[in-house]
Amino acid sequence: MLVDVVLFVAVVFGIQAWQQRDVPSGPAPAIAGDLADGSRFDLAAWRAEHPDQPVALHFWADWCPICAKEEGNVTAVLADWPVMTVAMQSGPATQVTGHLDSHKLAWPTLVDSDGRIAAAYGLKGVPAFVVIGRDGRLRSVSTGYTTELGMRLRLWWAARS
């Protein structure tokens, strides 16, 4: 049984490593764009609004069934931590806003209709949860379903380092 567990863990970590092979290390890529509500977003300015705190980017898509399962986790974490959601390849702002409204999600959402922002972070799929430390460096990148506890622990750990 121990061999099965070790093999399972190795496969999971191997898949994670393969999915994140293009994720940069070091400083978080600078990003800017339009939010679904029509306002402008700039990562550096947003981080400055949250001094001495890590921040997170949550990449999702309206066509992603795993993202839908994760919505409650993101909403709960947003209540306590600065999280900017990024709608990857989910259409224009009107479509993203429609999705947010229909799912009753009061998320700040950056529209990444062509996937350029996700590409800057080396992400090829969603959902993804990216934690940026107080120093502006990437601290954690996870792809696939992440529990609320997993999101909180990643942010907590980044706050301590």
- Per-residue pLDDT at 13: 57
Burial 93-111 (b: 16+ CB within 10 A, else e): beebbebbeeeebebbbbb
- Per-residue pLDDT at 16: 58
Dump pLDDT digits (tens) for 30-65.
999 999 999 999 999 999 999 999 999 999 999 999
For the chain, the residue count is 161
> What is the CATH number for 59?
3.40.30.10
Domain that holds residue 45: 2-160
Burial degree of 67 (CB within 10 A; 0-12, 13-18, 19+): buried
Dump pLDDT digits (tens) for 70-124.
999 999 999 999 999 999 999 999 999 999 999 999 999 999 999 999 999 988 8
pLDDT at residue 8 greater than cutoff 80 = no
Strand 40-42 versus strand 55-60 pairing type: unpaired
Q: How many domains does the chain have?
A: 1
Burial 10-29 (b: 16+ CB within 10 A, else e): eeeeeeeeebbeebeeeebe
The DSSP line for 89-115 is TS-SHHHHHHHHHHTT----EEEETTS
- Per-residue pLDDT at 109: 98
